[in-house]
Amino acid sequence: MTDSITLTIPRASPRTRRIRRAMVVLALLLVAANAYPQALLSFRFPIAEEDYRAFTSPSGWRVSPTLHIFIRHEGIDIAAVRQAQVQAAADGWAEEIWPPPGIWWADGKLHSGHPVYGGYIVLRHVLGFFTAYAHMSAVLVTWKNQPVRAGQIIGNIGQTGDAHGEHLHFEIRLAELALNPLLYMTLPKEPER
């Protein structure tokens, strides 16, 4: 299993699809030209600075700690203090929600979590951007299309799904394209050792 999330955009009317495509093309052009204006959509770091400890795995090619093969890691892994709170990186809406294993959910079912990501949330943002938060021990967003504000607590880091050690796997995507999150958000100061 790999730490990558495949997102599908729900079927919409032809007009809505044309608008979405135009927004994605515009955002891609801005990203490609290194002219992406932070005023349009800025991402904040998903862990409070005082809870942050280290980046444990960057975005890009690596040897998978679970499969022991060379694969693309489509996000970053962030270590923090035990059970640190996870914050939404930008304003948006809940696109996909998987409660962590062993949780009785509002639908009255006992959930087993996502098989790879355990407790995880995908948020939809403007301009075709998505953020994904995986391996969480608690998920505080409860329904699809629930509005979420930047900085809102959406869960706690954990070790659910196919994870080695407690951490947050975090991704930023533009439509289906995985971006390196370190290039699109304000980074915390390195903690003193």
| CA atoms of 170 and 131, how far apart (whole Å) | 7
| CA atoms of 163 and 166, how far apart (whole Å) | 7
What is the chain's pLDDT, residue by residue, as a tens digit (193 residues)? Answer: 556 665 555 667 788 777 777 777 777 766 664 555 454 568 999 999 999 999 988 787 777 777 777 777 789 999 999 999 999 999 999 999 999 998 887 778 888 899 999 999 999 998 889 999 999 999 999 999 999 999 999 999 999 998 888 999 999 998 888 888 988 888 888 767 6
Domain parsing of the chain, residue ranges = 43-183
Q: What is the pLDDT of residue 19?
A: 76
Three-state helix/strand/coil letters over 66-77: CCCCEEEECCEE
| 43-183 under CATH 2.70.70.10, yes or no | yes
17, containing H or E segment: helix 14-32
In this prediction the pTM is 0.78
Q: Are 24 and 130 in contact (CB under 8 A)?
A: no
Q: Quick check: helix, strand or coil at residue 39?
A: coil
Q: Tokens 């270590």 label which residue?
A: 79
185, HSE (Cβ side, Cα atoms, 13 Å): 24
CA 91 to chain centre: 13
Q: What is the pLDDT of residue 38?
A: 52
